Amino acid sequence: MPDTVTSDHDPACCVLIPCHNEARTIAAVIESLLPLDLPLLVVDDGSHDGTADIAARYPLTLIRHVRQSGKGQALRSGFRLALERGFDGVLTMDGDGQHAAADIPRILAAARRYPGWIVHGARIRHRERQPAYRRRANVFADWGISWAAGQRLIDSQCGQRYYPRSVLDLAERAGGGFGFETAIVIEAALRQGVRMVAVPIEAHYPEDRRRSHFRPFRDFSRITALVSARILRGGLMPGHLRRIRGTQPLVFDPDDHAGPEAG
């Protein structure tokens, strides 16, 4: 029996955008999403540049954190609301215009083909557009997270991804900040045997972009610490290392009609 069943309906999904000070870009991001006709959930995390007021002009659900509490906490608030409202899944993306609305139907196509899996957007196509230091650090993070999760991942730090409903509860134990997205993926794999598939996406890095909220030293150190702690807690997970050795991450490109079968 194949472990993948393609369902014939769109997952009832909402789009979740965590924001901190995105006044420059949030209107354009929201407007690019409106034609998709998906429920939108914006979490404004203590912005002081008017992000929430701009978002409030559009037909969407807005959660406001009075104080900045980090990307992880913002995603957690969104996941809670998505659970309450009964969505089958949540698609996350950045509020800075880095991710394209046009990639959402492609990610949802993968979610249909691989029900119950986490679908990562992967900046595979134009990796050279990513700042070089982030690219190198991402390759290192991919390797560590693949070890902890026992399956090969690519671009594990990309914020555009689809989470099935079954993993949303794990948000409660996934910590805060930028480590949240790493922790939830590892916990989903270890506790629920959830698998991951990547979809190639576009990512934009305009010349005049604002400085990233991601602090390379602080945030990569935290991610490395949390992945190392999980691997140590699992007794170094030698079985995982054996399992991922010589394997490639599963990449599904909906534009390539056949697509790989789940292994």
Positions in the binding site for ligand GDP (CB under 6 A): 18-20, 22, 43, 45, 68, 70-71, 74, 94-96, 98, 159, 212-214
Closest to Mg ion by CB, 18 vs 144, is 18
Q: Please count the residues of this chain forming the interface with Mg ion, following the rule CB under 5 A.
A: 3
Amino acid residing at 190: L
Closest to ligand GDP by CB, 72 vs 150, is 72
The least CB distance from residue 45 to ligand GDP, in Å, is 3
Question: Using the rule CB under 5 A, which residue among 22, 44, 94, 155 binds Mg ion?
Answer: 94
Contact 226, 149 (CB under 8 A): no
Tokens found for residue 123: 């900046």
Stretch that binds Mg ion, among 20-28, 42-50, 86-94, 252-260 (CB under 5 A): 86-94
Alpha carbons 205 and 129: distance in angstroms, whole number: 7
Closest to ligand GDP by CB, 22 vs 253, is 22
Contact 252, 110 (CB under 8 A): yes
Helix axes 71-85, 180-192, angle to 10 degrees: 50
CA 19 from centroid of its chain's CA atoms? 14
Report the partner that residue 68 touches, choosing among Mg ion, ligand GDP, none (CB closer than 5 to 8 A by kind).
ligand GDP
Strand segments (E) across 123-238: 161-164, 196-200
The least CB distance from residue 195 to Mg ion, in Å, is 26
CB atoms near residue 138 (< 10 Å): 19
Question: Using the rule CB under 5 A, which residue among 44, 45, 96, 142 binds Mg ion?
Answer: 96
DSSP-derived secondary structure letter, 211? P
The least CB distance from residue 121 to ligand GDP, in Å, is 12
